[in-house]
C-alpha cells in the first residue's frame, strides 16, 4: 500500500517511517499487545481492544461530534500487518505496518501507512474540520510513541505538569 | 509550589503553581537546591524562539535532592544530592548509545512541533519552549526528572552545590566544545565569549592540554575572570581581533575557534547594524558577528566549534569553510557523556565553576535576577536562584 501516491488524497493519507533498535519479531508482538494501540494513539483517538484482532476507535471531532469505527487486523506476512475498518464506520479507513531490517545493527525500519475515506457528506468539510489531528501528524506521533515504548517501556509526556495556567496544573 | 514563569515577551513573574507529579515509572521528583540563568534563556524571554506558552516555567540548569522516586527507578534513591544535565535522555536509543544525548530519539513529547523546524525532534529540554519538548523548568521548588537512572548524577560530598550546579549545563557545554577541538600538543584555542559557557570552554581546553587559550569579550570583569583561569584576554572593542590572533600565533591563526556567544552576539560597525536591524524586524533570528569573526581568524584546516545557540541564520559565509578546509563541529550539550569526569575534575580542583555564581537571589527575586543577568548589571555573570 502506498497511500500517499495520489496527490488528491494527500490530506487524507499519510505515510512515515522510524527505525527502532529492536528485532522485527519483538516489535510485531509489541504492536499487537492489547494496551499498545491505546497508548500510542492517545493523541488521535481512544482505542479499546475488543479481541486480538478487533479494536473500537472513537474520536472527539470538532463541533462536538464523536466519530467511531472498528478496525480488524488481517495479517498478511511476518513482516506486514494490515487493518481495515468494518462496515458502519463513521470514517472508513485502512492502515498498514511494514517491518524491514535496517542496515548494520540499526534494528528494524517500521513504516506506517494510513488512509481515510470519509463519506461524501464529511469529505466536503475538509480534513481540518473532520479531525483535530491531521493524518500526517497522527502517523508521525504514533510511530515516535511506538519507538519510545519499544525502547524505554514508556511514552514521553508532560501531562499533567505544573504551569501558571489552568489553575496551576497544565493538562 | 512557587515557580518563575514566562508570561509573554520580557514578562517574568513568580507564581504559585501545582507541585509536579511522577508521570512515568522512571521519573523522580527533585527538590531544587540551586538553579541558574543561561544566555539561551534570553532568546526565549525576548521572544526570539517561538512556541513558548504563557505560564511556562523556565530553567534548565539545576541541581537538587531526590524526594520522590518512580516505580522503575533502580539506582537513584530518595535523599540523593544530584546534578541533572539540561536535556532529557533515555539511555536506550541509537543516539544515546553513541553518547549523543541531546539528540535522544525518545524523550521529546511533542515531536510534531519540532519536526517541521528541524526535520527530526531533538531530545526534550527542561523549561525551553514546546518545540523542545515543553518540559516544566527548574526555576521552581520542585521539578520532575524523567529517566532518573540515566540523567541524575550523584554529587560527591566534597563538591559544593554551586560547583555541581554548573555541571548541569555551562561546564559540560564548554567541555564538549573543547572536546570537539581534538586538542593536540602545541594547539592554541581561541574562545569567543567569556560568559559561563565560554569560561568553562577555556578551562576545559587547558585541562585537555592546550598550549594556550585566548579569550575574547568586551566586559572587563569577564576578561579578568578569563585571565584568572590562565587565558590571554582580548577586548574586541579595542583591537583588530583577527590581526591580533595572527600576531599571537606566529601568523598561523588559532588551531581551533570556539563560539560561545551565539545569536545575541554584539559586534561593531556596519555588519553589526545589518544584523541587528534584520533581527529586530524578525527577518532573521541571529546576529552572527562572533561566528563570522571566528571563521575568518581560524587557521587553515582548523576546527570551528560552535556552542552558541542559533536559530535560522542567513548570510553564512560557507565559502570560508570550504576554501579554508575548516571542520565545523556543533551540538547542544551531550551532558550525560561528560558529567562523571567533570565531577572528578572538580574534585581534583582542575575545574572551578563556582565563581560563575556572581549573584545569588531567592526564587522570589527571579525576575530581578534575570534583569541583572540580561543587562550584565554590577558585573552579573550568572544569577543563581535558591528556592
- Could you list the beta-strand ranges (E) of B40-102: 56-57, 62-69, 81-84, 87-88
Q: How far is B257 from chain A (nearest CA, A)?
A: 34
Cell of residue A35, nine digits: 494496551
Mean pLDDT along residues A13-21: 96
Mutate to test the interface with B, among A159, A162, A168 (most CBs of B within 10 A): A162
- Has the ipTM of the complex gone over 0.95? no
The domain in which residue A29 lies consists of: 7-152
As a three-state string, the secondary structure of B265-280 is: CCCCHHHHHHHHHHHH
Pairing of strands B303-306, B256-259: parallel
Inter-chain residue contact B135 with A158, CB threshold 8 Å: yes
C-alpha–C-alpha distance, residues B320 and B322, integer Å? 6
Among B residues 25-84, those touching chain A with beta carbons less than 8 Å apart: 25-26, 53-57, 72
Which neighbouring-strand residues pair with A156? none
Distance CA B349, CA B99 (A): 26
Q: What is the pLDDT of residues B163-204, one digit of tens each?
A: 999 999 999 999 999 999 999 999 999 999 999 999 999 999
A7: pLDDT strictly greater than 50: no
pLDDT of residue B159: 98
What percent of chain A lies above the pLDDT cut of 70? Answer: 88
A contacts of B134 (beta carbons < 8 Å): 158
Chain A partners within 8 Å of B92 (Cβ): 21, 151-152
Chain B nearest CA to A161, separation (Å): 6
- How much is the pLDDT for B269? 54
* A163 located within any domain: no
Name the stretches of chain B with pLDDT < 50: 283
φ/ψ (deg, to 5) at B366 = -55, -45
Average pLDDT over residues A35-58: 96
The number of distinct structural domains making up chain A is: 1
> Does A161 contact chain B (CB < 8 Å)?
yes
- Sorted by where each starts, the structural domains of chain B and their CATH numbers stand as 2-169+333-386 (3.90.180.10), 173-330 (3.40.50.720)
With a cut of 60, say whether residue A2 has pLDDT above it: no
- CA distances B230 to B202, B223, B244, B321, Å, are 9, 11, 18, 30
- State how far residue B146 is from chain A, nearest Cα, in angstroms: 8
Residues in contact with B323: Cβ distance below 8 Å, sequence separation at least 6, in sequence order: none
Residues 127-156 of B with CB under 8 A from A: 133-136, 140, 144, 146-147
Phi/psi of residue A73, each to 5°? -80, 135
Within-domain flag for A110: yes
CB contacts, 8 Å: B26 with chain A:
152-154
Chain B (251-270) residues lying within 8 Å, Cβ to Cβ, of chain A: none
**How is residue B330 written as a grid cell?**
556543533
pLDDT at residue number B157: 98
Task: Reply yes or no on whether the pLDDT at A33 is more than 60.
Answer: yes
pLDDT of residue A1: 38
Q: For B35, how many CA atoms within 13 A lie in the half-sphere containing its CB? A: 31
Does A153 sit within 8 Å of B56, measured CB to CB?
Answer: no
Name chain B contacts of A155, Cβ cutoff 8 Å: 24
Residue A122 has what pLDDT? 66
Q: Give domain status of residue A164, yes or no.
A: no
pLDDT band at A131 (very low <50, low <70, confident <90, very high): confident
- Give the one of A147, A165, A167 whose C-beta lies nearest to B106's C-beta: A147
CATH number assigned to the domain comprising residue A20: 3.30.530.20
CB distance B140–A164 less than 8 Å?
Answer: no
CA-based nearest residue to B61, from B90, B40, B89, B91: B40
Q: How many Cβ pairs closer than 8 A exist between chain A and B?
A: 110
How far off is chain B from A115, nearest CA to CA, in Å? Answer: 19
- Closest-CA residue of A relative to B111 is A141
| A1 assigned to some structural domain | no
Classified as helix, coil or strand, A20 is: strand
C-alpha B139/C-alpha B363 separation (Å) is 7
CA distance readout (Å), B225 to B29, B131, B208, B356? 35, 35, 19, 9
Q: What mean pLDDT, rounded, does chain A reach?
A: 89
Amino acid at each position: 500500500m502506498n497511500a500517499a501516491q495520489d496527490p488528491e488524497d494527500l490530506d487524507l493519507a499519510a505515510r512515515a517511517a522510524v527505525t527502532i533498535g529492536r528485532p522485527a519479531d519483538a516489535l510485531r508482538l509489541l504492536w499487537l499487545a492489547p494496551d499498545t494501540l491505546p497508548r500510542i494513539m492517545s493523541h488521535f483517538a481512544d482505542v479499546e481492544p475488543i479481541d486480538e484482532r478487533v479494536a473500537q476507535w472513537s474520536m472527539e471531532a470538532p463541533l462536538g461530534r464523536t466519530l467511531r469505527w472498528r478496525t480488524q487486523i488481517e495479517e498478511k506476512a511476518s513482516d506486514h500487518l494490515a487493518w481495515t475498518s468494518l462496515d458502519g464506520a463513521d470514517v472508513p479507513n485502512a492502515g498498514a505496518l511494514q517491518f524491514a531490517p535496517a542496515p548494520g545493527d540499526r534494528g528494524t525500519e517500521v513504516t506506517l501507512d494510513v488512509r481515510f475515506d470519509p463519506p461524501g457528506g464529511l469529505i466536503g468539510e475538509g480534513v481540518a474540520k473532520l479531525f483535530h489531528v491531521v493524518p500526517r501528524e497522527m502517523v508521525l506521533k504514533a510511530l515516535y510513541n511506538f519507538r519510545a515504548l519499544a525502547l524505554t517501556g514508556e511514552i514521553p509526556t508532560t501531562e499533567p505538569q505544573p504551569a501558571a495556567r489552568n489553575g496551576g496544573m497544565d493538562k | 509550589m512557587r515557580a518563575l514563569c514566562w508570561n509573554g515577551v520580557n514578562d517574568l513573574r513568580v507564581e504559585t503553581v501545582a507541585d509536579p507529579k511522577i508521570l512515568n515509572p522512571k521519573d523522580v521528583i527533585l527538590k531544587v537546591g540551586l538553579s541558574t540563568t543561561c544566555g539561551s534563556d534570553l532568546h526565549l524571554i525576548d521572544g526570539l524562539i517561538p512556541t513558548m506558552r504563557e505560564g511556562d516555567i523556565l530553567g534548565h540548569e539545576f541541581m537538587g535532592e531526590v524526594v520522590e522516586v518512580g516505580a522503575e527507578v533502580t539506582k537513584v534513591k530518595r535523599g540523593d544530592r544530584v546534578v541533572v544535565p539540561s536535556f532529557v535522555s533515555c539511555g536506550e536509543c541509537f543516539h544515546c548509545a553513541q553518547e549523543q544525548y541531546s539528540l535522544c530519539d525518545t524523550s521529546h513529547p511533542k515531536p510534531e512541533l519540532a519536526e517541521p523546524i528541524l526535520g527530526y525532534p531533538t531530545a526534550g529540554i527542561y523549561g525551553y519552549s514546546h518545540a523542545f519538548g515543553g518540559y516544566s523548568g527548574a526555576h521552581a521548588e520542585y521539578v520532575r526528572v524523567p529517566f532518573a537512572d540515566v540523567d541524575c548524577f550523584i554529587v560527591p560530598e566534597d563538591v559544593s552545590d554551586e560547583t555541581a550546579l554548573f555541571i548541569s549545563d555551562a561546564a559540560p557545554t564548554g567541555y564538549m566544545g573543547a572536546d570537539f577541538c581534538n586538542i593536540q600538543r602545541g594547539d592554541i584555542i581561541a574562545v569567543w565569549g567569556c560568559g559561563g559557557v565560554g569560561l568553562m570552554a577555556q578551562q576545559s581546553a587547558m585541562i585537555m592540554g592546550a598550549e594556550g587559550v585566548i579569550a575574547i569579550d568586551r566586559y572587563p570583569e569577564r576578561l579578568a575572570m578569563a585571565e584568572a583561569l590562565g587565558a590571554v584576554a582580548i577586548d574586541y572593542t579595542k583591537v583588530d581581533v583577527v590581526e591580533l590572533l595572527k600576531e599571537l600565533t606566529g601568523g598561523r591563526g588559532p588551531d581551533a575557534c570556539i563560539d560561545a556567544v551565539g545569536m545575541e552576539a554584539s559586534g561593531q560597525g556596519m555588519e553589526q547594524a545589518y544584523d541587528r536591524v534584520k533581527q529586530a524586524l524578525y527577518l532573521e533570528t541571529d546576529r552572527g558577528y562572533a561566528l563570522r569573526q571566528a571563521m575568518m581568524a581560524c587557521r587553515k584546516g582548523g576546527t570551528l566549534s560552535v556552542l552558541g545557540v542559533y536559530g535560522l541564520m542567513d548570510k553564512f559565509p560557507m565559502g570560508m569553510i570550504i576554501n579554508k578546509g575548516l571542520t565545523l563541529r556543533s551540538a547542544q550539550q551531550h551532558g550525560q557523556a561528560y558529567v562523571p569526569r567533570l565531577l572528578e575534575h572538580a574534585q581534583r580542583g582542575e575545574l572551578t565553576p563556582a565563581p560563575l555564581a556572581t549573584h545569588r537571589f531567592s526564587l522570589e527575586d527571579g525576575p530581578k535576577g534575570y534583569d541583572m543577568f540580561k543587562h550584565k548589571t554590577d558585573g552579573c555573570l550568572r544569577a543563581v536562584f535558591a528556592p
